[in-house]
Chain A
Amino acid sequence: MARHLASHVAQLAATLLVATAAIFLLLRVLPGDPAVVALGIEASPEALAAWRAEHGTDGPLVAQYLHWVGGLLTGDLGTSYVTSQELTPLVADRVQVTGILVLLGMLIALVVAVPLGTLAAVWHRNAGGVTLSAVSQVGVAVPNFLVGVLLVSLFAVRLGWLPSGGWTAPVDGLGEFWRHVLLPAVALGSVQAAIITRYVRSAVLEIMREDFLRTARAKGLTFTGALVRHGLRNAGVPIVTVVGVQIASMLIGAVVIERVFAVPGLGSLLLDSVGNRDLLAVQSVVAVLVVLVVLLNFLVDLAYTLLDPRLRRAA
């Protein structure tokens, strides 16, 4: 187990190293000298040198990379070249917003998907199961921003029950927070619910074919009892993987939803920075997103090992 963990951590570190190097290359090296980008090609050499010294872009690239990664590790993302804002508090603030949105969306998705997916599997031979399958199939095909737009149209524009966008942090008033977070979280979660329903259905179907479920019934458990006591935990192993992968994909998908609802999350920051050509900010946000995605994959691997005793020793 310890060796297993060690090798996973080593892999994690290697992946993060390569990924951050790729980001650095893509956003810091390829676009050219940030001083020229910031000051324009007509700037004097002295001004350029002063800018470089101020922003620490005058050393060799490897040193700059290490400095940046060191900053990532210690929580110092540097100062925006464009707005001269400290990036760390800005990004931290935005991570919270997006994090709340994504976790709430996933919670909604799971609450809907686990029972529906299980039912769809158990009823797979009758009309109820087929209907559930069909609905989830259609749900997967709907882009989440369409759901967002339609929710705004109904609840904000026509009914006027909820605001069409904006954000209130929980500390600034729970009531307002819920009014603002509900629609984007539902928009994000509903499409995920459809996706996860399909995974739950196929995992449960797979489990229903397992011999040990038949053994459990031969002991005297009813079909439902056997499914609940033996099936769901086994089906849980693949479902946990999917949840991890989907949270990662929701982090990115939230970019679009944040735009629909004008939510000041990581996605909005990313898009605004792209718009301003604020490359250091883009670099920071992308790094944070990539680190989160990689960490999620890592946690999924760990969860797998914890859930399945066969992998504990084997690994």
Chain B
Amino acid sequence: MSGGRRRGPARRRGRVHPQLVLGAVLVGLVLVTALVSLVWTPYDPEHAGAERLLPPGAEHWFGTDRFGRDVFSQVMAGAQITLLVGLVAVGIAAVVGVPLGVLAGMLQGSGRGRPAAVLMRGSDILLAFPGLLLAIVLGAVYGAGTVTAMVALGIGSIPAFARVARSGTLQVMRADYVLAARAANRGNLAIAARHVLPNIAGTVLVQCSVNFAIAVLAEAGLSFLGLGTPPPTPSWGRMLQESQQFLGVADHLAIVPGVAIAVAVLGFNLLGDGLRDVLDPRLASTGPAAEHVAVDAGTGVRHEPDGAAAEPALDLRGLTVRTQSGRALLSDLSLRVAAGERVGLIGESGSGKTMTALAALGLLPDGVSATGHVGLAGVDGNLLDRGERALARLRGREISMVFQEPMTALNPLMRVGRQVAEAMTVHGVPHGTASRRAADLLAEVGLPDGAARRYPHELSGGQRQRVVLATALANDPAVLVADEPTTALDVTVQRQVLDLVVRLVRDRGAGLLFITHDLAVVSQVCERVVVLLDGVVVEEGPVAEVFAHPRHEYTRRLLAASALEPLAVEAAGPGADGRSAATAGQSPSAPEPLIRVEDVTRTYASRGQTVHALRGVSLEVREGQRFGIVGESGSGKSTLLRIVSGLDQATSGRVASAGVDLSPAGTGRVGTAPSGGARGVGGPTASPDLGDLRAALQLVFQDPYGSLDPRMTVGDIVAEPLLNPANVRDGGPRTAAARRDAVREMLDAVGLPLDATERYPHQFSGGQRQRIAIARALVCRPRILVADEPVSALDVSVRRQVLDLLVRLADEYALTLLLVSHDLGVVRHVCDHVAVMHDGLIVEQGPTAQVYDDPRHEYTRRLRAATPLLR
């Protein structure tokens, strides 16, 4: 692990950043000037040897001052004091502020908000003493001078560094890779050194550069006031101050040091801005390798569009969308939506389906342009030829759109009633009428009375999506484009919103273009379907026909991946008791559960309110089982999973995982020690022995982008759990070479190439990243693998592969699998046992087949009915 390799994001961008380069050149210029002036200046800067107030000329490039000193030499030498003051001030601020901020961030990130807040308040009090004021005050007491200035400016900048370090640390602490490190039993110091510091180094560097600029300005100001470096040492600020008496006579005396200050400040500011841009992950643009095989364009089977005789409500012909660099996001796409017709546009991420929608409404992002034809019934000509003003008149009236993310689609500062009404007022409806209509519309989409007066944050995701829908349909448009409108919603809410969309569109006789990755949703909502792959339509036709007899290979693959049938062999057995006896060598008559949860509650305070995340949950997971927990957002499933994994503690009840008692202190501890161990029995101990748990239980997280540290190589990531000796089993890898072998073996087992060890996470696709996360979880051979929504962020075709990999590995490594998902289909595919959670309770549990085929609880039935199925 050499230092040079850890540069991931910065190295990604091949392009030279102009600000960064200019900043570096200017800073370099100041630096070189200062260094050169130490050994050489044209004249002695402190020696008055020439004629006074000479204008710039050949002899004295920048002229001479009132004592006949050479201005050029003085400016050169002045760079020294500027850099010295900046360096020491920034040094003091960083050395004090960064550890303070990291400490506060780590405290808060691990749930100890109060001491963190105290730390930050303390540092914030310094905000009341800006550096310049502090320097004046200290100067008054201890005498002005270079040292006073440096110290005062440094102290004054401490809060800025503390804040930057704290927010950076908090961000890192919230990342799943820190959770993974904690699950691998890494200590706080190790987390700080391996994850926090490398990841905040960039922002701290930016802050250093920006603060250097501030210090240069402040030093100049102090010298200007006569409170900086005393004469005769040359200083830019004092040169400026002395120039004042000769204004109009010798302006060069003001301009030369003024420009010097500006160049230095500009240099450091540009350097900081450039670094910020280069280090900003949002701007790092290299995409991972495409996950699916490319299909040659134009080979797809095409059906003749139905109802070609009638004028289509929306008519896209030969639509091609390109980026500025010429990359085609959509190629020659043709698509028609007849009046009253519901057309589904299907594709995986990156297929260009959202671009299609945006092109139709003239909302393409900057730097992306479309050619071809976009026609709308009753509107002459090509929409692509219209200007923004002419397009705006059509948007919301003839064609409107519903977006994917309801949480951000509404203006947070405006009441929702006004936002709905605005859709009408912009098209000329008087305010009073529009407000009344808006209230009616909100009622029509099923929002409670008075919803119009609410702000978006006071509504749930499903409610917000209803508001967006009401807005879109306010003017009874001929075409509604819906881009993944229910993807961000829970299953039961999704069902309601889908039904609503279909009803409203049908009532209005509008055409619907419904964009989604979910084939089952299309089969419920749409009559016709268009399949998009890499910006090319590969197949289209009536839903029933395409789904029953897919002609294109990609459609077939997509359909196969979407249909998650239960894995036959395991589901057949009633439990998994037999296997547990075989693997663990326990008495088959009384197998101890590997995970036992008894009447667990978890409450926490959030913004002054008490939240009951878990309200009395009990379950048992036996060795070798594949146990699924299914529930919607807010059901408590993730909280339960964190408690079982020792990452959170229950408020009351008893918990034991892999023989380690995780019950909260103070409650009677449960004696669930397996036959082999004697731990955990007896009275309460201060903290459970998590070390043993970490070796036995590992996790895989939901977001494959957040769960891997972007600055570590895949080899280092997978090896991390092995670095804690407590995690390594007897005979396990304890040397660097053995660890390397173990990592290779694991990467091979999850189906990744061996050269992956030297690469960084960003070079892998989502599915591959999830494989890396699985390899990390299994490298120290745990007995239990806990997976939190492991495939919900993945495309359909990849989802299937990762699920099957999990099942295969569970068999190979004799794992007990605990899988949490919102998707009943996923759980049914993988698990032999399932618990259904709702509102902090387990409402039903049992063998998957039984719960699925014969649900007892009303909520399970509702969940099942809401889950979209392929017809």
Q: Tell me the A residues contacting B by CB distance below 8 Å.
A: 3, 11, 14-15, 18-19, 22-23, 26-27, 30-31, 125, 137-138, 140-143, 145-146, 149-150, 152-153, 157-158, 210-212, 214-223, 225, 229-230, 233-234, 237, 248-249, 252-253, 255-256, 259-260, 270-271, 273-274, 277, 279, 282, 286, 289-290, 293-294, 297, 307-310, 313-315
Contacts and interface: CB of A to CB of B under 8 A. Distances in A.
A223 B361 CA distance: 13
Contacts, number: 205
Q: What 9 pairs between A and B have smallest CB-CB spacing?
A: A220-B396, A157-B248, A141-B266, A141-B265, A146-B258, A219-B396, A211-B408, A219-B423, A153-B247
Contact of B412 (A229, A294, A309, A315): A309
B844 to A, nearest CB: 35
A110 B138 CA distance: 33
B254 A153 contact: yes
B224 A230 contact: no
A153 B251 contact: yes
Nearest to A11: B121
A225 B247 contact: no
A234 B412 contact: yes
Contact of B247 (A30, A157, A211, A214): A157
Nearest to A218: B401
Contact of B411 (A22, A216, A313): A216
5 contacts: A125-B366, A140-B269, A212-B410, A217-B395, A218-B403
A125 B324 CA distance: 12
Interface string B363-399: 1001100000000000000000000110011111100
Interface in B75-123: 121
A15 B457 contact: no
B472 A218 contact: yes
B132 interface: yes
B412 A308 contact: yes
Given A145-B224, A214-B403, A219 B125 contact: no
B225 A309 contact: no
Contacts of A271: 136, 225
Given A15-B121, A143-B221, 11 more contacts: A141-B265, A145-B224, A146-B262, A150-B254, A152-B247, A218-B395, A218-B401, A252-B130, A253-B132, A279-B140, A286-B136
A274 B15 CA distance: 52
Contacts of B244: 149, 152, 260
Contacts of B403: 211, 214-215, 218
A312 to B, nearest CB: 9
Contact of A222 (B243, B388, B468, B472): B388
Contacts of B455: 309-310
B266 A220 contact: no
A191 to B, nearest CB: 9
Contacts of B139: 274
Given A125-B367, A146-B261, A249-B130, A274 B266 contact: no
A219 B400 contact: yes
A252 B133 contact: yes
B397 A220 contact: yes
Nearest to B407: A211
B409 interface: yes
B127 A219 contact: no
B220 A143 contact: yes
B258 A274 contact: no
Contacts of A220: 392-397, 423, 426-427, 475
A225 B389 CA distance: 10
A219 B412 CA distance: 16
Contacts of A158: 248
B389 A282 contact: no
B141 interface: yes
Contacts of B363: 214, 217-218
Contacts of B839: none
B127 A297 contact: yes
A214 B481 CA distance: 14
B240 interface: yes
A233 B415 CA distance: 13
B392 A225 contact: yes
Contacts of B129: 19, 22, 290
Contacts of A286: 133, 136-137
Main secondary structure of the interface of B (DSSP, over half): helix
Contact of B224 (A30, A259, A282): A259
Interface string B457-473: 11000000000100110
Contacts of A11: 121
Given A218-B361, A248-B130, A140 B265 contact: yes
A138 B263 CA distance: 9
Interface in B261-289: 261-266, 269-270, 273
A46 B273 CA distance: 63
B130 A31 contact: no
B608 A282 contact: no
A23 B137 CA distance: 9
B410 A274 contact: no
A141 B412 contact: no
B213 A256 contact: no
A274 B136 contact: yes
Nearest to B254: A149
Interface string B226-249: 010000000001001001100110
A26 B152 CA distance: 13
Contacts of A273: 140
B16 interface: no
B213 A141 contact: yes
Contacts of B224: 143, 145, 256, 259
B692 interface: no
A14 B266 CA distance: 38
In this complex, the member of A138, A143, A210, A293 whose beta carbon has the largest number of chain B beta carbons within 10 angstroms is: A143
Contacts of B457: 309-310
A255 B607 contact: no
A145 B240 contact: yes
Given A153-B248, A220-B426, A274-B140, A215 B410 contact: yes
Contacts of A211: 403, 405, 408-409
A17 to B, nearest CB: 10
Contacts of B125: 15, 18-19, 22
A26 B140 CA distance: 10
A289 B400 contact: no
A26 B137 contact: yes
A310 B412 contact: yes
A221 B474 CA distance: 14
Given A143-B217, A218-B401, A219-B422, A234 B266 contact: no
B414 interface: yes
B128 interface: yes
Nearest to A3: B608
A259 B136 CA distance: 14
B401 A31 contact: no
A99 B414 CA distance: 34
B466 to A, nearest CB: 14
B258 A149 contact: yes
Contacts of B411: 212, 215-216, 230, 234
B440 interface: no
B124 interface: yes
A158 B251 CA distance: 11
B39 interface: no
B293 interface: no
B83 to A, nearest CB: 16
A310 to B, nearest CB: 5
A166 B468 CA distance: 60
A258 B517 CA distance: 65
In this complex, the member of A141, A217, A286, A293 whose beta carbon has the largest number of chain B beta carbons within 10 angstroms is: A141
B411 to A, nearest CB: 5
B413 interface: yes
A268 B751 CA distance: 73
A73 B41 CA distance: 56
Interface in B467-487: 468, 471-472, 474-475
